[in-house]
Amino acid sequence: MSALRDTAFAKLNLALHVRGRRADGRHQLETLFAFCEGGDELSVELDDLLSCDVSRGDGVEVISGDNLVLRAAYALRAASGTTAGARIQLTKRLPIASGVGGGSADAAAALRLLVELWGIDPAFAGEVAPRLGADVPACLISRTCRGTGVGDELVIVDIPGLSGTNVLLVNPRVPLGTAEVFERWDGIDRGPLADWRMGRNDLEPAAKSLAPQISLILSWLDAQPGASFVRMSGSGATCFALFDDEAARDSAASAVPREWWHLATRLR
């Protein structure tokens, strides 16, 4: 069988409301996930062993350590009972620890690919995903959805006109640890999520305290001609702007300061 390929689609939180801290220490969330057409790239092919080779895309740092893709592969193999192996190739194009679900999206893409490669029931991927991280279930489906609980209780939503929207992602190349940002959340419940455009990202003040560059990026994006909606994604530090016009998005992308990472893409 030739290699199978998939994209680990970048995740955006169009709104992220933190409603409280649960007894288990995790946080109760209401969020609207959307996914970009661009992201990391994965390929898989059958092999006797399980392995994952990681390469670096343009301007993206790769840090060695815990590999969530391999964890996903081993968990899926154990859950399904298969004895097959795979060689996984991951090309990183998204910054690490950046609020766009890079590791979670990689794990989810690996699950999708391995289900097909090994010919197993996709239900096993759904069983494994929540154990790998709160964002992995959403990344597994990679469709616009509302998330509650810790972000893993999902309802797919259809927002007319959202798919195909032009979007520009910008990151200051400053990694932010999700746990550290949540620890700095002020603990105030500012209310439920209704209209995502009128919503907010409750982690933004905490993220700004750790990475002041976020304020600069948000202001820069908001000043770009044609930017219709600007917000920080997840726990940061990636921010994004939606554009009604592709030319306006591309003009903004060409003006992004060289020291910042950026991705010009569309919503799925």
Q: DSSP assignment of the chain, as one string? A: -PPEEEEEEEEEEEEEEEEEE-TTS-EEEEEEEEEEEEEEEEEEEEESSEEEEEEE-TT-----S--HHHHHHHHHHHHHT---EEEEEEEE-SPSSSSS-HHHHHHHHHHHHHHHHHT--THHHHHHHHHH-TTHHHHHH-S-EEEETTTTEEEE---TTTTT-EEEEEE-S----HHHHHHT-----------GGG--BTTHHHHHHH-THHHHHHHHHHTSTTEEEEEE-TTSS-EEEEES-HHHHHHHHHTS-TTSEEEEEEB-
Q: Which residues are designated catalytic?
A: 11, 135
pLDDT digits (tens, 9 = 90+) for 78-107: 999 999 999 999 999 999 999 999 999 999
Kindly report whether the global pTM for this prediction surpasses the value 0.85. yes
Domains and CATH numbers, the chain: 4-156 (3.30.230.10), 166-266 (3.30.70.890)
pLDDT digits (tens, 9 = 90+) for 113-167: 999 999 999 999 999 999 999 999 999 999 999 999 999 999 999 999 999 999 9
